[in-house]
Structure 1
Amino acid sequence: MSIKRALIPILACALLLCSCDYIVLPEDLEDSVAAGSGAWTAVATGIAPENGKLRIDITIRNDTGAWSEMHVLPDKPAVFTGGDGQSTNCGTLFVGTGGHRLAPGFQMRGAIAGTRAEPATQLLYVECEGVEATPGSKLAIDYRYVTGEYNYYYPETNQADARLEIDLDELTPEIDYPIAAEIEGLILEPSAEIVAINDVVLTLTGVERTDSGLEFSWQTANPGEYPAYVHIGNPPVIGDDGILYGYYETPDIVSVPITPAGEKATWTTEVAVPQEVKGLYIMLSVESKKQRLFVNYAVDITDR
C-alpha cells in the first residue's frame, strides 16, 4: 500500500490549516467524514503453514472516506478459494478495529483485545485448515462497518455490510503505518483547541512517556453559564507498527471532571504502548453538539 494523496475540498479552510483559536469542522469536511461512500480494503502481508493450518496475516485500510469501525460478521467464516476453484471455510479469523473508529486513510494490522483487566495485543489474521496457497488463491471476508460520528443512542447509524476480497498472489509484506492516504485537513496539531459540547473548549496540554506507555493531560474551559461535562473516553493511539493501542470502552462511560461555569478543569488519561513504537497519532472522540454524540479527531503526536 503505497502512500497516495487524496484531497478533500475544504470550505473555510483557514479554520483548519491556518493559525486560529478553535477547531470546528467546516460543514463540507464534516459531511464528508459523516458517511463515506467507499469501503474497507485489505491485503495479505504474510502467508505461512502453521500446525497443519495456513495462516494469513492481514492489514486493513479505511477507504470509506469517513471515520469508521469495522468487524467481521458473527458466526460467518472467511472463505478460502484455491487456484483450482475449490472453496474452504476458515473459522479462525481476527479482523477488525477492536471497537474503535479509525481515521480515513489510515491502516492497521492489530488491536487490543482481551479484557480491561487483562488486555492483550491481537494481530489480524485468518487461519484455514487443510489448504495450500497455490497460484490464483483468494480469501473473502464478510464484515460490518459503521461510518461517521458515534451516537450512543443510535449506534447503527450509517451501518453497512460488505466483503473484503484479498488476492493471495499479491503479498504486501512491507507497509508504512499508519497512514496510507493523506487527507488534507484531517490531522490536528497537539495544541489545537477543539470546541466540544456546550461550546466548552478541549485542549491537550501535555503528552508524557511513562514506563507503560503514554499519559495525556487534558483541559476544558467552559465559557457558559452552567457546569458542563465533556467525555472523551480513554483515547487510543496508533503508530508505526500498525497496532491500534487502547482497550475499547464506549467514551461516555469513562469518568471526567465537571467543568464549572466560567472556569477550567483538568485530568489525565493513559494508554499502554511499547516504548519502541513511534510515529503516533491519537484517535480522539469528543462529546460534541449534544450528549453522547462523539465527533472524531486525529491528533499528531509523532514527536513523542
Structure 2
Amino acid sequence: MTKPLLLFVEYALGLLDDFNTVFQGEAPLLHELQPRVKKLIDNFASNFMRMNYVRSASKVDPHLTSQYMPLSGVYLGVGNYGELEKLCSGDQELVLTGCRNFYIEAILQLQKRFDFKDSFFSTIQQIIPKNVRERTPPTLQLIFSTFPTLRNACDPAKAETEWRALSLLSTEELGLQTEDELRLLSAETFWVLVLKLKSSAGLLFPNVAVVITFIFSLSYSNAIAERVFSFLKINRNDRRNCLSNDVLLGLMRTKFLMKNTQSTAATIKFPDKLIDRVQKVRANAVIVGDEF
C-alpha cells in the first residue's frame, strides 16, 4: 500500500510545487494569481468530482458529495497506473479514500489562503492583452478608484483616451503579424512592446505608462523581499558589520547585473567610462555621477 501512496504524493505535490515555483519568480504576475489559483483548485477537484460541476462552479465546494465520482474513479496520477490493482479491495478503498481526503484538504487550504472576494483581483485583469483589445472593462475607472494615488501621478482623462486608443493599435505597430499572436502574448511582453512606442513628443502612451508601471510594481509574493534580506545577511555578517549602505547597494547592483547578463566574476563587462573614472580616483573616494 506504500508505493501507490508515495506515487500519489509525488503527483499531487508536483502540482503544488509547480504553482509555488511560478510565484517564487520575479516577473510581475499579480494579474495571474486569481486564474492560476482557480486552475489549481479545479485541477484537484476534477480528480474526484464530476467535470460538469467543476466547469460550472464559480467556487468549488469539495464537501458536496452529490458531485463526487465513484471512489474507483479518483485519479491518483499517471505513475499509479497498474499499481493500485496489485492491492486487495480493502487496501484499494483505503488508498482512494485517503487520496480523496488529500484533495479535499488541499482545496480547502487554497481557498482559505487565497480569498478573492476583493474586486481588486478582477480589476487587475484589465491589463491582460485580450482584455485591453476588447476594452473589458471599457474604462480605467475601476483602476483609478482602487488606486486613487494614481490621479496625482498622471492625467486620468488622458490616460483614458490613451487606453481606448490601445484597442485600435495595429499589430504592425507592435511588430506582430496577427491579432491572435498579440492576444497570446503575456501581459509583461505586451506592455514592453506598447511602452516602447514613441511619437515626436516622447512616449506614445505616457499616462498609461504610469498606470501600468504602478500595477506591475505591486508585489504578489514576499519571495523578492526574502531574497534581499538573505543577500544582506550573507554580506553584512559579524566580520563585515561595518559595510556602508552604499557598498551594499553596489554589491547588490553588481549581483543583479551579473544575473541579468548571465555573467560571472571573470566575464562581467563594465562600461569603459566607469573603469576610466575608477582608475582616476584616490583611495576611498566616492565616485560622483549619474551616468552609470
Point out the structure with the larger helix share: 2
Could you say whether these structures have the same fold, taking a TM-score greater than 0.5 normalized by the shorter chain as the test? Answer: no
TM range (shorter): under 0.3
Point out the structure with the larger strand share: 1
Question: What TM-score does the superposition give when structure 1 sets the normalisation length?
Answer: 0.21
Q: Which has the larger radius of gyration?
A: 2
